[in-house]
Amino acid sequence: MVTADDVREVALALPRAYEVSVRQRWKLRVGQIVFAAFSRDEKDMGFGFPKAERDGLIESDPETFFLPPAGDLRYQWVCAHLDRLDLAEMRELVTDAWRMCTPKMLHDLPELPRPAAQAWAAIDAGEWGELRPLLHPYLHWRDGETALRGRTTVLRHLQQVPTPRPPTEVEVRNGQLYRWTR
C-alpha cells in the first residue's frame, strides 16, 4: 500500500521538483507545471498522463484508476487510489509524469545510481555546500573535452561555467560519485 509520503519521497528526489500547497491541497511541480497532486485527505493522487493512453490505463484497472473531474478532462491527467498502487507502479507513474514536464536531457537521471540525480540537482541550483558531500574526494569528471580530477577542482570548475548537462554514466563508491561521464 502506497501513501502520500511515499509519493513525496519519490517525487522530491527528482531534479527541479518541489511541493506547494494550493487551496489546501498539496501539489508537486516542476517550474509552474504540476505533475502530481493529492486529494485533500491524501488518499487519492492525480498525475500527468498522456490523454491518448488515459482510457486504456483506466480500463486496465478501474478499481485503481479513474478520470479527473470534468473540468480537468482537457488536461493530460488521470487519478489513482493510492492504497491500490504498489511502490514500483507508483514510482513509474510519478517518474513518467515528471518526465512530461522536464527537458529531455533530464529524463535518464532517475535511472542512474544514487546520488547522480541529487548531485545534478545541486549543480543546477548552484548549491555547492549540498553538492560537496555527494562527490568522492578523488572524483574523475569528464564532460565532453573537459577532464578533471578531484572534488575541489571540479567544484571550482563548476562555479565558473554554465550548468553542465546531466551525466550519461556514473560510478559510485562509498555512496559518493567517483566517476561522472558525459
Domain boundaries, given as residue ranges, for the chain: 4-102, 109-181
Of 134, 132, 177, residue with least CA distance to 155: 132
Average predicted confidence (pLDDT) for the chain: 95
**Is residue 114 scored above 90 in pLDDT?**
no
pLDDT at residue 151 in the model: 97
Q: What architecture is the 4-102 domain classified under in CATH?
A: Alpha-Beta Complex (3.90)
Of 102, 7, 106, 88, residue with least CA distance to 47: 7
CATH number of 109-181: 3.10.450.50
For 25-175, list the strands marked E by DSSP: 25-30, 33-38, 44-48, 65-66, 77-81, 135-143, 146-149, 169-173
> What would the pLDDT profile of 51-91 be if each residue is shown by its tens digit?
999 999 999 999 999 999 998 899 999 999 999 999 999 99
Distance CA 69, CA 67 (A): 7
> What would the pLDDT profile of 20-47 be if each residue is shown by its tens digit?
999 889 999 999 999 999 999 999 999 9
Contact 7, 36 (CB under 8 A): yes
Give me the residues paired with residue 28 across strands.
Answer: 19, 36
- 84: helix, strand or coil: helix
pLDDT at residue 6 in the model: 96
Note the pTM of the prediction, 2 decimals. 0.85
Rg for the chain, CA atoms, rounded: 19
- 136: helix, strand or coil: strand
Distance CA 182, CA 172 (A): 15
